Structure 1
Amino acid sequence: MTTQWIRERKRESEESQTHSDFRSCDDFLGLASQLNARAPQLLDEVAAAIGPVDDSAGVEALRTLAAQRGPGFDADMVLTMACAILLSQRPDLSTWRMVRQVAYHSRSLGESLGAAMSAHRRVSATAGQAYVTLAVLLFKALESGVLEAASELRNQDRKNAREHWRANRSLEEIWWGLRGSDFMNFEEEMRVFGVLSEIDLAVFQRLLGDSQDPLLVDAALLSAGVGAFTPRFAVWERCANEAPDAFAEDGSWNGSVLMPLLLLRCLLYTSRCV
């Protein structure tokens, strides 16, 4: 018998009904199958056309291209899948910034990019490793501050939250839920971290276990289904089993942030389900 959080099955059912317009991995797998039979070059053509986008007009031009080259197909889904393919071909910061800008000006693409990546890695022999490479690169770039958000407001929020943590670094701050922080400050990259947790949970665990940035680690945990919106006990359990020691025999904290965050997410989710 599979162990799950209380009401986990019910919650998954409720979410699938609530987000009926959300494109799933299966939706993109279906699209890939249809395109392979009827328009095998379409995705590569659209992917090749993706470049720097400054506004919604640039996204609309890409959507128009997808519609013209592939009449009868959902242009938004084609563009989203093309972005996923481009990231698998060029898993670097420059390409990520381009795709992120497209997603920034297209809500449907932003919401479905992770599902498209999950689908593409199932039909491509090389996409999975490329996404692992990309996720590790993004995590380290965020951790070091090299990768900024597309929004200046979000950049300021990140800066303020990190300054607060550095000035108040303690277990109490973690137990209080990292006051002043917002996991949505890493919204764009969370999609990729979620895909990483699906492809190679061991790499995901090591990445988080080695980090001392609780804001980023917490966002990555949420992307993988540890608490909050898509709770999956199996992921929480595996992360907890592999997390580095955070406490000495006398109960003192050694500074490692992963285990305290896992305990926090466990407490928050179970307290909301009883």
Structure 2
Amino acid sequence: MPDMPMPTMTDRAMRSRRCTQGCDASVLLNATGGSEAEKDAAPNLTLRGFGFIDRIKALLEKECPGVVSCADIVALAARDSVGVIGGPFWSVPTGRRDGTVSIKQEALDQIPAPTMNFTQLLQSFQNKSLNLADLVWLSGAHTIGISQCNSFSERLYNFTGRGGPDDADPSLDPLYAAKLRLKCKTLTDNTTIVEMDPGSFRTFDLSYYRGVLKRRGLFQSDAALITDAASKADILSVINAPPEVFFQVFAGSMVKMGAIEVKTGSEGEIRKHCALVNKH
């Protein structure tokens, strides 16, 4: 596969999951002073593309130093990476400024867990001023991206606590669970990588939702989408409509998500390097 890191970086970012202190590119910051940063938190360990963002930033700094923030670069790159793999285009409002704080614990506290049920998921989105529709449509970003086995292995081996392959999540299609166990051979596997949308993870399409309806969502949080009547109805309505309908609602939720608690004016800064706070 050619080097296309940004879809992986944006798969869960497109679900509002990265904006712990607002959409201020704090996830790009390296750890400093012995304190771990957001990128060191377990939900972020499969993120790639940091070097890609750095290359974009270096080119922009050469042409127009101190003008384009890392936060805007991430928002624009997310949009363009979706377009490259067949998804929609949307206008990205710019003018964000970069945050100067990145704390591992905040990522752990604020990024919705893959084990969440529907009520927990919806509350997490509402905490960021997003609604049910945003939850459903931004979840569609799972049509791209990857996950480590330990994000879902309890669904395969230890769902009720008894342990073993007979203790699987009953909401997971048994054939899909068997295929996952061939890849994730132990409960504690934290190195093996699995596609979130098997067979289609390089294409932005509706196959994620079709998988969820067949009980083949990778995470419990994916399966949760069809436990709520309104959420399931929304999915069915889009599945039965032309792809352009999903593209339109997804793009609208992306614009809304990209405005979460942004820093503007004199807030934050425009970093010279996306992994480092400016020296003052």
TM-score between both structures, scaled by the size of structure 1: 0.28
Structure number with larger C-alpha Rg: 1
Higher helix proportion (structure 1 or 2): 1
TM-score between both structures, scaled by the size of structure 2: 0.28
